Structure 1
Amino acid sequence: MNMLAEMLLAEPAPVAIWVLLMLLTLPALVVLANPHGVRDPRRALVDSVAFLRRREERREQERARRRDEAAQTVRYAEEVRVAADQAGYAVQRWHGRWEAAAQRVDATWEAWQQAEARWARSRATAAFGTPFTAQNPTEYAQRERFLHRTVRAAADRGELPASAVADALNGRDGWDARLHPVEQEMAVHRASVAHLERLHRDAVAAERTAWHDAQLARRSRDSLHREVVIAEARAAVVRHLVPAAAPVSVDAARPAVVAGVA
């Protein structure tokens, strides 16, 4: 047996001859294997050729199916890679938003504390009382102008909402132009503390939301990276079945993969 194998390996011509003889005798074997083929050899031969043709067609269909599956596997790996890249960019954007929100928290905290300090000084000053001034139209007009000017300046600095200016001009929401300027200034400081405290609470809530969104984007990116490893490993096995895989565009890949992961 070893001598026969060595002879076949050394001389491939006999192998080719045997294969050719087997192919030539295959129709005759099929005819003889069929009882009806003995009575009608021509019909049996036609049936044999049709059988071989159908078998070859099934093989071709199977090869085409495997090529299509391989192409889909390779395409999916490319789409996942594009989606993972996009997710990486999204993580950077969300992280930038969180950093901006964190800076906003620090800024509102500092502004709030400064307003608290101003209000404390105002309370300390008011403890000594306010000097007496005559209640006349001129004095009232001066106090009204002082209130409007002080409220508008605080709103311009962001220490009061813009709506406070309209409220002060119309004497709404506790703004009283009849008060002494010291009392008016203390009222402005008190309102500034309340407003800046609200801004700080809103900034803290926004920072927590931004942090949650950044973490969610990071988890999505990590999940896509793990999927990339699996998809590319599968694509490497069948890539040889797809000689020229069509490139996948970013716009085409993003909805199919990112939406599916989400």
Structure 2
Amino acid sequence: MESAVHSFFVSIPQAAALWLVILLAIAVAAVYVALPRSAPPQPLTPAQRDKLRFADEVAVAADRAAATCERLRAEWSAAQEQVDAAWLAFAEADRRARETTRAAAFPLISKRRKPGENADRQRYLHHAAIAACRNREISIAQLNDVLAHRGWNPRLHPVVQEGLLRQAIREHRLSQYEDAQKREQVAWHEAELAAEALRSLRAEATAAVVRAGTAEEPAGDEWFADQWATGEIPAAKAYA
């Protein structure tokens, strides 16, 4: 009798633990069953597929516009650097021309020219002009004027010719600076147009993605009018 009672009390903890495990399993199953089930994905309608396709096309166009915008911004930056370089070149040419102008304030000693001196002066002018053109200090048109003696007197003293040549260099540098400014303005305008086009395409791409993710909405007032019968509108009876 004592052995049976002892066995009964020993088996009570084991039975309690078994029931706790069973209750816990039941509770987990109940929670799992109570969890909301996600609805299976609905197939896309033809209208939604068209919207997604359009959104992809706009996104591709926006990527291309971004590449174009970046390229034009780089060209504008290069044009700005060219403007700065042209200005420095003009400033240097202007400084040298001013130095020559100040030096020309002192009169040259007039003396009788030696035989062949005019030919030497002409040869000096031609060589100096060709060297300046080779260094891109004067243009081809200016060089042609020098060689054809259009506006140039080859019999002048080399100091005077040097001063006139430096003035021609200053004029050419100024023309290069003005041309660089025009190119920079054109590059800036094109970069701004590309940036505006990029902003518009990105906004359109965002709107297209939003439209593609929403249900198709009825368009126009006619759809709403078709959904209501005249008898269902109280105001229609009052004004009939």
Residue 178 of structure 2 corresponds to 201
The equivalences for 1:1-262 within 5 A come to 67-172=45-150, 174-237=151-214
CA distance in 1, matches of 2:111, 2:177: 39
Task: Give 5+ residue unaligned stretches, structure 2.
Answer: 1-43, 216-240
Greater Rg over alpha carbons, structure: 2
CA distance in 1, matches of 2:111, 2:209: 85
CA distance in 2, matches of 1:209, 1:127: 43
Alpha-carbon spacing, 1:153–1:133, altered in 2? closer, same or farther (3 Å): farther
The two structures have a TM-score, normalised by structure 2, of 0.67
The structural deviation recorded for 1:236 is: 2.5
SS at match of 1:223: helix
The structural deviation recorded for 1:135 is: 3.5
- What is the RMSD of the two structures over their aligned residues, measured on CA atoms? 1.9
Task: Give 5+ residue unaligned stretches, structure 1.
Answer: 1-65, 239-262
The structural deviation recorded for 1:222 is: 1.1
Q: Deviations over 1:146-191 (max 9, x none)?
A: 111111122122221112222211112x121111101101111111
The two structures have a TM-score, normalised by structure 1, of 0.62
Structure 2 letter corresponding to 1:79: E
- Identity percentage of aligned residues: 36
The structural deviation recorded for 1:134 is: 3.5
SS at match of 2:120: helix
Higher deviation after alignment, 116-125 or 156-165: 156-165
Q: Deviations over 1:69-109 (max 9, x none)?
A: 22321111011000000010011111011111101110111
CA distance in 2, matches of 1:133, 1:87: 71
The structural deviation recorded for 1:194 is: 1.3
Structure 1 letter corresponding to 2:173: L
Alpha-carbon spacing, 1:185–1:74, altered in 2? closer, same or farther (3 Å): same
The structural deviation recorded for 1:137 is: 4.9
Alpha-carbon spacing, 1:129–1:151, altered in 2? closer, same or farther (3 Å): same
Paired residues in the alignment total 173
Higher deviation after alignment, 163-172 or 177-186: 163-172
